[in-house]
Amino acid sequence: MHRLRRTGLVVAMVTAVALAVAGCGADGDGTPEIRVSAATSLKTAFTDYADGLDDVDARLSFAGSDQLAGQIRSGVRPDVFAAANAKLPRALFAEGLVERPVAFARNRLVLAVAADERGIRGIDDLTARGRSLAIGAADVPVGDYTRTVLGRLPDATERAVLAAVRSEEPDVGGVVGKIAEGAVDAGFVYATDVRAAGGRLRAITLPASLQPDVVYEVAVVREARDRAAAQRFVDGLLTGRGAAALRRSGFLPPT
């Protein structure tokens, strides 16, 4: 009887340890599992990167950078946070919620139109009567970058373009969707988003004098379940498979 009780106790203890290990972020074959929260514009590149990993099982979630930062502030703890700007990761670092962020990619803002749209060749064409435009909301990176561009226009042109805005989207994916669906004539998105749209959109390059500095930064989140695995994922974005995936998707090097 005592032996049976001891055996049951040992089994229970082993089971508890196994559950604890599973909860620490390892999948069935022992590969470390991490959760990565990333800006919507990184979806193609990060999915490509994660699919090629064999030492880390990266579970990806995508949304607007500001929304993901807000989740971290609310207590959600992914292992890695990758944003479409530097401001949000640096703010979280100042708040003690992430480790020191690093720049891992750059992008370019473009004016995007449907592939068959021929009436819009530049920003000035957005001022014509009846034109419609989608932009990012003011508190998301693509919206901030867009407002930087508009703020560099002559005052009259800026007012006319803003008057054409029909939708302010919570992330760049929303802007892409509005253009692709024909709900608006144009929108400001990243060059990589046009590339990922499979020929549905056409990019109109902005003059260098209007182009904002679009930099992406990433950080390991404090209280990450597996800091070593999270750091390996981040390191791969700088040199290795992640950097290669970013280049394939059209992202520029961080410097």
Give per-residue pLDDT as tens, 64-121: 999 999 999 999 999 999 999 999 999 999 999 999 999 999 999 999 999 999 999 9
172 labeled part of a ligand binding site:
yes
pLDDT value at position 25? Answer: 57
Would you say 82 and 39 are in contact if contact means Cβ atoms under 8 Å apart?
yes
Nearest to 32 by CA among 55, 51, 11, 52: 55
Nearest to 26 by CA among 167, 195, 225: 225
- Spell out the domains of the chain, with CATH numbers in brackets: 31-106+215-248 (3.40.190.10), 109-205 (3.40.190.10)
Run means of pLDDT, 10 residues per run, the chain, 255 residues: 38 35 54 96 98 94 97 97 98 98 98 96 96 96 98 97 97 97 97 96 97 98 95 96 97 94
pLDDT value at position 255? Answer: 82
pLDDT value at position 8? Answer: 43
Three-state DSSP at 202 gives: strand
Identify the burial level of 28 via C-beta atoms within 10 angstroms of its C-beta, where 0-12 means exposed, 13-18 middle and 19 or more buried. exposed
pLDDT value at position 7? Answer: 37
Would you say 146 and 135 are in contact if contact means Cβ atoms under 8 Å apart?
yes
pLDDT value at position 10? Answer: 36
Count of C-beta atoms within a 10 Å radius of residue 152: 15
Report which residue type is found at 192. Answer: T
Backbone angles phi, psi at 140, to 5 degrees: -115, 150
* Widest CA span in the chain: 90
pLDDT value at position 30? Answer: 81
Backbone angles phi, psi at 245, to 5 degrees: -65, -40
Residue 171 CB partners (closer than 8 Å, separation 6+): 39, 40, 63, 64, 65, 67, 136, 140, 142
The pairing of strands 133-136 and 186-190 is: parallel
49 labeled part of a ligand binding site:
no
36 labeled part of a ligand binding site:
no
Rounded to two decimals, the pTM is: 0.87
pLDDT value at position 121? Answer: 96
41 labeled part of a ligand binding site:
yes
